[in-house]
Structure 1
Amino acid sequence: MKAYVAGVGMTRFEKPETREWQYWDMVREAGGAALTDAGITYTDVEQVPVGYCFQPSTAGQRAVYELGLTGIPVYNVNNNCATGATALMLAGQLVAGGVCDCVLALGFEKMKRGALGGGAGGGDFSTSPVARHYGVMAARHGFGNTPPTAQIFAAAAREHIERYGTTEAQLAAVAAKNHRHSAHNPYAQFRDVYDVAGVLAAPMVHRPLTRLQCSPTSDGAAAAVVVSERFAEARALTGLVELAGQAMTTDTEESFSSGSCIDAVGRPMSREAARQAYERAGFGIEDVDVIELHDCFSVNELLTYEALGMCAPEESGKLAESGATTYGGRWVVNPSGGLISKGHPLGATGLAQIAELVWQLRGDAGERQVPGARVGLAHNIGLGGAAVVTLLRSVQSG
């Protein structure tokens, strides 16, 4: 069976502690907006997967109770930074598998200010779920005092520079593009515009990544209503976007055997998830118009270009500075501003990507609109690990 996104909603992503609200307030706002956008009520919803990382067990129920007390199943989902896309994938499987006709996927996060620690415990990462990943980094690059997630992606960036001749300016070009895009996004945490020189001049987090190349901690929520074809027809729903293909992968031996942080942070996972998603959708990257991908750090956007088949590994830096991934180029990547500028509340990120793509494919993205966008791709990844690739197609595109 086909599954469609019928409605989306999100809160503005904000610096933690900016607003006096609880996570259930975020869900009421984002979930309510998605239901209204779909033209349904919570009583139509049959099941709810809810993603988050930093709240207690059954926080999903507490949050969803703000939308209604109907007794339906609520699933609590945690897959690190890929949590939001995981919730969406569960919703898509429930509908495509014929279990449900209407599912609400939710994601939220209420975070603390400051850098994300990554569970490394001040260098003692032996009990962390990502111990093997940090072990790859430590064996080759050592382990410092900066945030461990920044360290491992910075190590991947240095390897990319050494292996492919990528320049620091090319890494900065990714961030400059995404900050420029976010200027037109009212949901973005940051809307200031920087050029490459400004990105490079920002304070260093872990060489070669400056602060403006790193996603911030954020508060926020996002939601998507997923429905079956028969439900949509019975309710005469409009504005539908097809979930044309979805795939999730986790780490394989390739993630660790090379001893490379490029592999440890997920390029092999992303490559395989993309391959499966293309196969299920029946089309590939050449058919995609607009992309929301997981630029938690600028280097990960380059790694994802490669994994999605947009270019060869040695060409991703050049692709970033060529203009091919912004307005007027071959693809528009992260028109929302991406994680770097829009913000990164872990549980909400994957669903916020879907919201942006649905607006783009409907032609409702305002100043951010990608002209003629009919096919979109979302890429959401989490260390530990999980990579989710979702292909979306406007119903009007056939």
Structure 2
Amino acid sequence: MTEKVVVAGVGMIPFKKPGQSEPYTVMGAQAVRLALADAAVGYESIQQAYASYIFGDSTCGQRVLYDIGMTGIPVVNVHNNCASGSSALFLANQAIASGRVDIVLAFGFEQMNPGALGGLYNDRPAPLDPFLQECASVVPEGVPMALRLFGAAGLEHMRRFGTPLETFAKIRAKASRHAMNNPMAVFRKEVTAEEVMADQMMWPGVMTRLMACPPTCGAAAVVLCSESYARKHRLDASVWIAGQAIATDGPETFRSGDLRHVAGYGMSRAAANKVYEEAGIGAEDIDVLELHDCFAQNELLSYEALGLCPEGGAQKFVDAADNTYGGKYVVNPSGGLLSKGHPIGATGLAQATELVQQLRGRADQRQVDGARIALQHNVGIGGAAVVTMYRKD
């Protein structure tokens, strides 16, 4: 890895509830065109493309791009659960950093159905079965699949450190305040912590409905290129990738008895530590973050996994408002998955779009003053955790 990789262009479309969006072919193409326009390059310049989605047949990525151009470039479809978008970005980054290519497109899209997530193939072993078995003893009947995993992880934190349910409600309320200034978000209405607590209990004492992100449709795209290519073609090279790592589950996931690990705590921590080492920058230097808040419980766990606060210190971190404007960090200025929405294949690339705009100083009312270092965290159970650090020259 010798080539410096810059983010030349980003683009995303407003996220929408299932049934209210265009087909994935239209959404994906719109996001790609926005990223190309932002980079000031034509599609004919792109040398490789990585497409991210999980709800769709094979070669959906090609189907999207064929409406933009048929240049014969390699197109790779990436399916890594909720970390698919960042996994596509990771592959694009590697391709450029290795010197193999100069300019690459990573894009993601999702056309989702309403309701809780579930498996598609019931005639074969499910990849998440070991995770569900690990937390089965604490989960009541009737709890949806994803909620079982993240709820169990949150419950583990509550039991270990005495974290009250109200702390998760405060995280959800913070997300809504941030989303009020994001025209791309699905939910832009402010909710209070009291309203979150009073909402329907999905798991009594562990999670209310508002603590879970909504199924969402949308698309986002990123154009990466080498610094030398950007200089040669006079592209914006102000934002670059200072470090990136992808990790999968370690043995602690099924051996430690710590249910935080079924939600990716261990692999998130491992990926973050690799990035801090690669970039030579610690968590204390970060200005703004987009992290994977599919549930308010996972945002809290991620504070500690990423080193934003000590283990067991998340309640104090939230109570001190160190996760919002005026505090130590601004976490999820977009409103995060909880308010912006979670179109799975697009999520990681939408996070990248938000952070690049923050570092460019173009985030409008969401702008974090003086932001120069940003961190992105995207996790998929089963498992993959991708952490990316961006810097502004």
Question: What TM-score range do you get, normalising by the shorter chain?
Answer: over 0.9
Counterpart of 1:171 (choices 168, 172, 185) is 168
Per the alignment, residue 43 of structure 1 pairs with 44
Q: Hey, what does 1:234 align to over in structure 2? A: 232
Q: CA deviation at 1:157?
A: 1.4
Q: What is the deviation of 1:99?
A: 0.8
Number of residue pairs the alignment of both structures matches: 390
**Cα displacement string for residues 59-112 of structure 1 (whole angstroms, at most 9, x for unaligned residues):** 110011122110100000000000000000011001111011000000110000
List aligned pairs for 1:364-383, cutoff 5 A.
364-383=362-381
CA contact (8 A) 1:136 1:260 kept: no
**Deviation by residue 1:329-355 (Cα, 9 ceiling, x = unmatched):** 000000000000000000000000000
Residue identity matched to 1:50: A
In the alignment, structure 1 residue 90 sits paired with structure 2 residue 91: yes
Distance 2:95 2:203 in 1: 42
Equivalent residue, structure 2, for 1:225: 223
Q: Distance in 2 between matches of 1:243 and 1:66?
A: 29
Following the alignment from structure 2 to structure 1, what is the Cα–Cα distance between the partners of residues 202 and 225?
43
> Residue 143 of structure 1: CA displacement?
5.5
**What residue number does 2:6 align with?**
4
Give the Cα–Cα distance (whole angstroms) in 1 for the partners of residues 299 and 342 of structure 2. 15
Q: Distance in 2 between matches of 1:120 and 1:104?
A: 31
| Corresponding position of 2:339 | 341
1:282 aligns with 2:280: yes
Task: Quote the offset at 1:142 in angstroms.
Answer: 4.2
The Cα of 1:321 is off from its aligned counterpart by 2.3
Q: Which residue is equivalent to 1:259?
A: 257
Question: Deviation of residue 50 (structure 1)?
Answer: 0.4
CA distance in 2, matches of 1:120, 1:24: 24
Question: Partner letter of residue 17 of structure 2?
Answer: K
CA RMSD for the aligned pairs?
Answer: 1.3
Q: Determine helix, strand or coil for the equivalent of 1:56.
A: coil
The residue aligned with 2:114 is 113
Aligned to 1:101: 102
Counting only pairs closer than 5 Å after superposition, residues 307-326 of structure 1 correspond to structure 2 as 307-326=305-324
Once the two structures are superposed, residues 221-274 of structure 1 have per-residue CA deviations (whole angstroms, 9 ceiling, x without a partner) of 000000001110111112631111000000110111122321111100000000
Residue 118 of structure 1, CA deviation: 4.9
Q: Which residue pairs with 2:382 in the alignment?
A: 384
* Cα distance in 2 for residues equivalent to 1:26 and 1:252: 36
CA–CA distance in 2 between the matches of 1:190 and 1:356? 17
Query: What's the TM-score, normalizing by structure 1?
Result: 0.96
- Distance in 1 between residues matched to 2:61 and 2:27, nearest whole Å: 12
Task: Give the aligned partner of residue 66 of structure 1.
Answer: 67
Shift of 1:144: 2.2
What is the alpha-carbon distance in structure 2 between the residues aligned to residue 87 and residue 320 of structure 1? 32
Whether 1:394 aligns to 2:392 is yes
SS of the aligned residue for 2:313 comes to: helix
Shift of 1:117: 2.1
Secondary structure at the counterpart of residue 323 of structure 2: coil
- Conservation of the 8 A alpha-carbon contact between 1:3 and 1:95: yes
In structure 2, C-alpha distance between the alignment counterparts of 1:136 and 1:382, rounded to whole Å: 17
1:170, 1:318 within 8 Å by CA — same for their partners in 2? no
In 2, Cα distance between equivalents of 1:256 and 1:265: 12
In structure 1, what is the equivalent of residue 26 of structure 2? Answer: 25
What residue identity is the alignment partner of 1:164?
A: F
Deviates more, 1:231-240 or 1:365-374: 231-240
Return the offset for 1:381. 0.0
- Per-residue deviation, residues 135-172 of structure 1 (Å, max 9, x unmatched): 1011x314621211112211111221111010111111
Equivalent-residue separation in structure 1 for 2:260 and 2:321 (angstroms)? 24
Quote the Cα distance in structure 2 between the aligned partners of 1:146 and 1:66.
41
Letter matched to residue 55 of structure 1: G
Q: Name the % identity.
A: 49
**Distance in 2 of aligned mates of 1:166 and 1:118:** 31
Contact 1:137 / 1:260 at 8 angstroms: preserved in 2?
no
String of CA shifts for 1:104-128, please: whole Å, max 9, x gaps. 000110000111125696xx9x821
Which position in structure 2 is the counterpart of 1:299? 297
